[in-house]
Structure 1
């Protein structure tokens, strides 16, 4: 128990934000299950995709920690999780070197995916890393200007699911693609990605509602600040409801068996989280809701994935 506590309180573990990592594993798992269903599973590619995605997520977290401190966004009165740079646990120069190093390792591993997926993977990879840095860095950090929700919806949902499927689909071809070949981005993967896009974005919504007061004071204008607390809660409700639409669509319109409705098993869990958000909890309580929304995303992905390739 002591060793576990020491590990979790290590400054670098704090900076990595382990609780955020399931949000990137979930869409990759779902995209892989769709590939398995279509008979194009590429195990080696999946391992490298997971490694690259985790590195990009960790690099993004480290860069955000660095730039939030640099921009004086992480103030002492915030109620979120500890930030390593702002709290003085890690010097800014060390943090900058760390996120550059992590992104560099992701690039090196990404050459294998580039070999499989061609120029589209180069585009996706560069955009993902650039977005991770520019989320809180650069002259116009889009996370500070109400664009964070769109960023998460696209990169953690649409691109994560369809990109995972694309690499495995294109690996079956015998040439180096310069663009997306026909059949490598399917309607099924696009529709399924909406579930992951909605749930991963809902995680950010919880984070933004929690930090509304301190973010506004620090000049970080998130979408929640534009919308206000009531409509931000409605956004959370809408995203949770939207996540359940693809499994129902698969069952009704794509003639999948009833197993594709397995995600409905977590609907009571989802309802309880919506109730908590709507009940106007205190900012510290949002930390628990954030963690549970992350778990919901992972559980939903596992059930939806199993429901698609139907191993039962």
Structure 2
């Protein structure tokens, strides 16, 4: 692509130079998928046992680093495999549009994982060394998601892997390091969060469906087709909100959790944004709305647990 076309693409995506190059590399709209599970898991622990702020901060920072490193591995390996070009939408664009050396991206991702490992040592020393096993598996998954001979991102299992590890497992770890225990209620409560995180992945794959199919991927969005994938995204929203209502009704979640339904508006916005056959660039607002749905739901869920801590209410 010519430099003029490259500039036009950057202008259409509102990309700027300087610090924002590195900020885009992190793909900040995905980082809430790291923050929300830690926040929810910690608030559940605070409600049941109390909270250690140092462990909360370490877990939060480590999770964000792992998510950012995963995004960098994705940027690096998609470029190496020839999947990304100057016209690709939804990527950081630091390699194909900003000219950052691929090796620099890879080294930065590895550096993030090293820092996350050091934080993990502190977490384990302050709680239990069993956490190290799960932490190492999570970091390995972050690499294998887009790296290795059979990247998970190229299969129909991407949404499941993202939801399970970034949702349920991180909520479970966040709860465990605070309480040194884990209950089945925590696992059940984690399910809607896991679904919303998987939905972010699905939305990304809906936007990139055509290009991914041309490059040999077999994502759910490709298997279901555009309209089928959008209907599947809608069904995920219905299931997640339905579970939340049921858990609130039976008392597993506090009555304050009903406020999570305020995030439905963003979910509807994302579904409408994906409706019809649109270009990847035209679907970017829908992708953003999907991530915002997860953010709002997770924040409202965590805040509802905090409200229950200070203003206990029960029927």
TM-score by length of 2: 0.87
Counterpart of 1:49 in structure 2 is 59
Residue number in structure 2 paired with 1:9:
20
Q: How many residues align?
A: 295
- Out of 30, 33, 39, the position equivalent to 2:49 is 39
Q: Does 1:69 align with 2:79?
A: yes
Deviates more, 1:157-166 or 1:110-119: 110-119
Alignment CA distance shift 1:256-1:113 (3 Å): closer
1:255 Cα deviation from its structure 2 partner: 5.9
1:123 is aligned to 133
Change over 3 Å in CA distance of 1:255–1:164 after alignment to 2 = closer
Return the offset for 1:217: 1.2
For the residue of structure 2 that corresponds to 1:244, the secondary structure is helix
How far residue 211 of structure 1 moved from its aligned partner, in angstroms, is 0.6
Task: Give the superposition deviation at 1:103.
Answer: 0.7
- 2:217 is paired with a residue whose SS is coil
Name the CA shift for 1:8/1:18 in 2 (closer, same or farther; >3 Å): farther
CA shift, 1:280, in A, is 4.2
1:141 aligns with 2:151: yes
Distance 1:190 1:7, change over 3 A: farther
Does the 8 Å contact 1:156/1:196 carry over to 2? Answer: no
Question: Quick one: distance in 1 between partners of 2:164 and 2:221?
Answer: 18
Ranges in structure 2 where 5+ consecutive residues have no aligned partner:
1-14
Give the conservation status (yes or no) of the 8 Å contact 2:207–2:287. Answer: no
- For structure 1, the residue ranges without an aligned partner over 5 or more in a row are 171-183
Alignment of 1:172-191 (within 5 A): 184-191=181-188
**Deviation at residue 111 of structure 1 after TM alignment:** 0.1
Cα distance, 1:281–1:137 mapped onto 2, change above 3 Å: same
Cα contact 2:86–2:93 (8 A) shared by 1: no
- Any idea what SS the aligned residue of 1:72 has? coil
* 1:86–1:120 Cα change, 3 Å: farther
1:103 aligns with 2:113: yes
Deviations 1:101-154 (A, max 9, x none): 111111111101122342431111111111111111111111112221111111
Aligned counterpart in structure 2 of residue 164 of structure 1, from 142, 166, 174: 174
Alpha-carbon distance, 1:34 to partner: 0.8
Among 277, 280, 294, the alignment partner of 2:274 is 277
CA distance in 1, matches of 2:20, 2:299: 29
Q: Distance in 2 between matches of 1:152 and 1:275?
A: 24
Change (3 A) 1:167 1:216: same
Shift, 1:271, TM fit: 2.3
1:195 aligns with 2:192: yes
For 1:189 and 1:148, how far apart are their aligned partners in 2? 23
CA distance in 2: counterparts of 1:204 and 1:196, whole angstroms:
13
What is the CA-CA distance between 1:220 and the residue it aligns to? Answer: 2.4
Q: Which deviations, in whole Å up to 9, do the C-alpha atoms of 1:255-302 show, x marking residues without a partner?
A: 654312111122233223223323444321221111122122111112
Deviation of 1:6 (Å): 4.7
Rounded Cα–Cα distance in structure 2 between residues aligned with 1:81 and 1:165: 33
The answer on whether the counterparts of 1:27 and 1:301 sit within 8 Å (CA) in structure 2 is yes
Deviation at 1:25, TM superposition (A): 0.6
CA contact (8 A) 1:114 1:121 kept: yes
1:135-193 Cα distance to aligned partner (Å, 9 max, x none): 111111111122211111111111121111111111xxxxxxxxxxxxx2212211221
Indicate which of 224, 228, 233 corresponds to 2:230. Answer: 233
CA RMSD across the alignment: 2.0
Report the Cα distance in structure 2 between the residues aligned to 1:78 and 1:289, rounded to whole angstroms: 17
